[in-house]
Amino acid sequence: MSDIRVFKERANILDIDMGIDVSADTITSQIRSKPDVSGALIATWVVTKPNGGSDGLIRLTISAAVASNIEATGGYMDVKRVSAGEPYPGWDRPLEVEIIGVVTE
C-alpha cells in the first residue's frame, strides 16, 4: 500500500505536523516519477502554513484542476525545508504516492 493517495479530478489536501517551528522556513514539495530529482515532475504541491507555522503545521494542496491532468498512476514525494538558507529533508525517505481515478462524476 502507498504512503499517500492522490485522487484525480479532486482537490487533495494533506495536513502535516513537521514537529518544529517552521514559521521562518520555506517549504516545497513535489511528486516525481522516481524517488529522486531525476524523475519526471508529476505535480507540485502548494504549501501553506494555516497557523503561521509556529505550531509546525503545514498544508499541502493539489487543486482538482491540476489533479485532473495527472496521467501517472504513481510516484514519489518528499518535503524540502529551507531554514536559514540551508536545505533540510522533511522526512527520512521519499514517500510512495498512489494516483487513482474516481468513480463519482
C-alpha distances out from residue 71 to 7, 26, 43, Å: 11, 28, 10
Three-state DSSP at 35 gives coil
Q: Which three cell numbers stand for residue 10?
A: 479532486
Give the Cα-Cα-Cα angle 105, 14, 24 (nearest 5 degrees): 145
How does pLDDT run across 13-32, given as a tens digit for each residue?
A: 999 999 999 999 999 999 99
How does pLDDT run across 47-78, given as a tens digit for each residue?
A: 999 999 999 999 999 999 999 999 999 999 99
- Domain range list for the chain: 4-100
Average model confidence (pLDDT) across the chain: 96
Write down the pLDDT at residue 82.
97
pLDDT tier at 105, thresholds 50, 70, 90: confident
Dihedral sign for Cα 20, 47, 84, 32, please.
Answer: positive
pLDDT over 80 (residue 80): yes
CATH of 4-100, one of 1.10.150.130, 2.60.40.10, 1.10.10.410, 3.10.400.10: 2.60.40.10
